[in-house]
Amino acid sequence: MNKVRALLIASVAALIAACASSPSEPAKPAAPNLAGNWIVTLESPMGAQDSNLKLTQTGSNLKGTMESPMGSVDVAGTVADKDVNMGFNVNAQGMELKIDFIGKLETPDTIKGRAVFGSFGEGTFTAKKQP
């Protein structure tokens, strides 16, 4: 009788332990590597403009510099799975303007999305990674 009782107690303890442990979450995929040089084509109501974007990446965080005929600005953003978000500030005739790029990684070398010019409207952009 004591053996049956001990076996029953051990079984209940194992069941309680199994129920108490939380299921492990699946590992998140690593962020795609966007570090490198990109050509960004921005389409706005004022026409198309190409800029050079140089990105570095730490985990899912992006930092870089965008150079265009209008000058150079620091860019910061994130990448999560295929979602890419970057932004920078520019001085537009004495007023600070935040420009955000909200896009998706379509291929390992192409990002497409929309560009938001603060409260002044939107455009689209395409970024192509250079070899």
pLDDT of 119 reads: 86
pLDDT of 26 reads: 62
Domains annotated on the chain, with CATH: 36-129 (2.40.128.120)
Tokens 């492990």 correspond to 24
**Interior/surface letters 24-41, b for 16+ CB within 10 angstroms, e for the rest:** eeeeeeebeebeeebebe
Query: What count of other Cβ atoms lies within 10 Å of the Cβ of residue 129?
Result: 18
pLDDT of 69 reads: 84
Side-chain-side CA neighbours of 129 within 13 Å: the count stands at: 15
Q: Region 82-109: what's the mean pLDDT?
A: 93
**Reported confidence tier of residue 80, pLDDT bands at 50, 70, 90:** very high
Q: Region 11-22: what's the mean pLDDT?
A: 44
Q: What percent of the chain has pLDDT over 70?
A: 78
Instruction: Give the global pTM.
Output: 0.75
Position with higher pLDDT, 13 vs 128 = 128
pLDDT of 111 reads: 98
Q: Is the per-residue pLDDT at 67 higher than 70?
A: yes
Q: Is the per-residue pLDDT at 97 higher than 60?
A: yes
The torsion angles phi and psi of 100, rounded to 5 degrees, stand at -115, 135
Distance (Å) of CA 2 to CA 11, 12, 13, 57, 88: 14, 15, 16, 63, 73
Residue 21 is given by DSSP the state S
Compute the mean pLDDT over every residue in the chain, rounded to the nearest whole number: 84
